């Protein structure tokens, strides 16, 4: 069709002008309402996340590096130590300041704060601080505060004690983070490993990663065939199976873990059955050790592997496998070369999900694991609730977070971040 009288029509590509306002500005205006609406819809969630997620995590990260307790209790001591070289004992002024600070702290009932904080660094300083705080010095009868203070507690004659004080002057410290990595900074500022008998967190971190990795692997091996079955069965059967997969979600985590105690204990179903069958003649130790932790965690985390796998497999149309076999690939080759590569996003998502959940697991290992199977979360909980060392708890949390992020970065680099599909 041709348009008659085209001469009178305006050229089609000319932008109709609206005063001198450029087109871009007008476009932005037109879009503004839509954008505001969109923002308004997500705003409640955004605020909620900010308050319940971002703020607490930021607070935790701050606690892992913040250190301002001691400088409030020992302000004069910290000031006297500013010029100290950290190699030999500080001068008389520092001893005098410490005695004065602790006398003041004793009067204010804050000496215990300093005692606890310094004891984190050098054990024995708790009593050193408390005894010094309780001691009354008569300025006239004390020619040398240095000798007098050392006489009250021998710790004050060691460079490490003074190093601890200076190290804790705040407002920022690397003390907790170093501790979480089994490192220690001495009075001269050099960082070195703590003695083997006091090093625990690196082991715990390694154990946490090892258990999480093994559990992830178990979940993948057990979950893959289930997801495949779910994805390939007709809907009627698949829905029934799916309920079985989801069933654990509807049961409390505590109940599920407790059920494993019942099943795996010495007089539990598994041991009874094996004894009855004559496979073993005395009960196997299946719980309160690594076996229990792995079994229970695999069970609890299995759905998180199956669901992303299922959703990925569901989107792989059966005609790909048919095409592969029609082109001459035996079923096994077709599976490895055609099916598996298309499953990778689901495998990646499932493994990542399970691994990250496993790394932070607390209740299950606490209930079914032995003392040597506790993961990092156990220690975080311990420092928060039992020994009230929030700084170290936060530092351990930060290390966990950092390690997880690092791992995620490596992982997404390997599988291609955009390929991960959460379902």
Partner 1 sequence: MVAEQNEQQPLVQFSQVQKSYDGETLVVKHLDLDIKRGEFLTLLGPSGSGKTTTLMMLAGFEVPTHGDIRLNGRAITSMPPHKRNIGMVFQNYALFPHMTVAQNVAFPLEVRKLPKEQIAAKVQKALGMVRLEEFGQRRPAQLSGGQQQRVALARALVFEPELVLMDEPLGALDKQLREHMQMEIKHLHDKLGLTVVYVTHDQSEALTMSDRVAVFNDGVIQQIDSPSALYEKPRNSFVANFIGENNNLNGEVVEMDQETCAVRLDDGSLVRAARINVHAVGARTTLSLRPERLYVDAAHEGATNQLSGQVEETIYLGDHIRVVARLSGGEPIMVKVQAGPHLVMPRPGDAIRLAFRTEDCRALNPVAAGKMADAGSTSH
Which chain residues interact with partner 1 by CB under 8 A? 317, 319-320, 322-331, 333-334, 337-338, 341-342
Nearest to partner 1 of 59, 341 (CB atom): 341
* CA–CA gap between residue 13 and residue 287 (Å, rounded): 77
Nearest to partner 1 of 2, 332 (CB atom): 332
Nearest to partner 1 of 6, 234 (CB atom): 234
Nearest to partner 1 of 104, 342 (CB atom): 342
Nearest approach in angstroms of CB 341 to partner 1 is 5
| Helical residues (DSSP H) of 68-124, grouped into ranges | 69-73, 75-80, 92-108, 111-121
Nearest approach in angstroms of CB 342 to partner 1 is 6
Helices 125-134 and 159-167 pack at an angle, to 10 degrees, of 90
Going by C-alpha positions, the residue among 165, 186, 184 that lies closest to residue 175 is: 184
SS3 content of the chain, % helix, strand, coil (to 5): 70, 0, 25
Residues with Cβ within 8 Å of 207's Cβ and at least 6 positions away in sequence, in order, are: 373, 375
Nearest approach in angstroms of CB 414 to partner 1 is 16
Going by C-alpha positions, the residue among 396, 388, 386, 391 that lies closest to residue 359 is: 396
Nearest approach in angstroms of CB 327 to partner 1 is 4
Nearest to partner 1 of 289, 342 (CB atom): 342
Nearest to partner 1 of 198, 317 (CB atom): 317
> Residue 351 burial (CB < 10 Å; 0-12/13-18/19+)?
buried
Nearest approach in angstroms of CB 307 to partner 1 is 22
Distances (CA, A) of 190 to 174, 176, 248, 274, 355: 12, 16, 51, 57, 35
Nearest approach in angstroms of CB 330 to partner 1 is 5
């Amino acid at each position: 069709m041709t348009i008659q009288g085209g001469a009178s029509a305006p050229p089609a590509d000319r932008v109709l002008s609206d005063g001198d306002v450029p087109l871009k500005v007008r476009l932005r205006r037109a879009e503004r309402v839509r954008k505001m609406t969109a923002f308004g819809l997500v705003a409640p969630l955004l605020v909620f996340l900010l308050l319940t997620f971002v703020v607490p995590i930021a607070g935790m990260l701050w606690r892992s590096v913040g250190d301002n307790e001691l400088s409030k209790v020992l302000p004069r001591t910290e000031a006297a130590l500013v010029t100290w070289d950290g190699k030999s004992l500080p001068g008389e002024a520092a001893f005098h300041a410490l005695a004065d600070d602790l006398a003041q702290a004793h009067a204010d009932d804050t000496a215990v704060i300093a005692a606890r904080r310094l004891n984190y660094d050098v054990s024995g300083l708790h009593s050193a601080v408390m005894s010094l705080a309780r001691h009354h010095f008569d300025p006239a009868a004390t020619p040398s505060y240095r000798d007098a203070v050392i006489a009250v507690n021998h710790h004050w004659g060691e460079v490490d004690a003074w190093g601890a004080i200076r190290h804790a002057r705040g407002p920022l410290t690397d003390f907790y983070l170093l501790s979480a990595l089994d490192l220690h900074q001495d009075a001269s500022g050099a960082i070195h490993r703590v003695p083997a008998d006091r090093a625990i967190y690196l082991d715990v971190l390694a154990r946490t990663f090892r258990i999480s990795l093994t559990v992830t692997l178990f979940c993948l091996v057990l979950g893959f065939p289930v997801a495949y079955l779910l994805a390939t069965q007709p809907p009627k059967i698949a829905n029934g199976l799916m309920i079985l997969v989801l069933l654990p979600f509807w049961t409390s985590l505590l109940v599920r873990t407790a059920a494993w105690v019942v099943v795996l204990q010495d007089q539990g179903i598994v041991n009874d059955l094996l004894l009855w069958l004559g496979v073993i003649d005395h009960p196997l130790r299946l719980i309160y050790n690594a076996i229990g932790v792995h079994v229970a965690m695999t069970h609890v985390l299995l759905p998180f592997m199956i669901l992303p796998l299922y959703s990925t497999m569901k989107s792989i149309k059966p005609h790909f496998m048919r095409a592969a076999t029609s082109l001459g690939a035996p079923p096994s080759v077709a599976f490895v070369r055609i099916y598996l590569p298309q499953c990778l996003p689901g495998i990646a998502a499932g493994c990542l999900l399970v691994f990250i959940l496993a790394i932070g697991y607390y209740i299950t290992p606490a209930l079914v694991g032995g003392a040597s199977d506790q993961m990092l979360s156990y220690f975080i909980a311990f420092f928060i609730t039992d020994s009230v060392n929030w700084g170290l708890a936060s530092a351990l949390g930060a290390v966990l977070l950092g390690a997880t992020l690092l791992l995620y970065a490596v992982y997404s680099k390997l599988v291609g971040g955009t390929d991960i599909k959460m379902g």
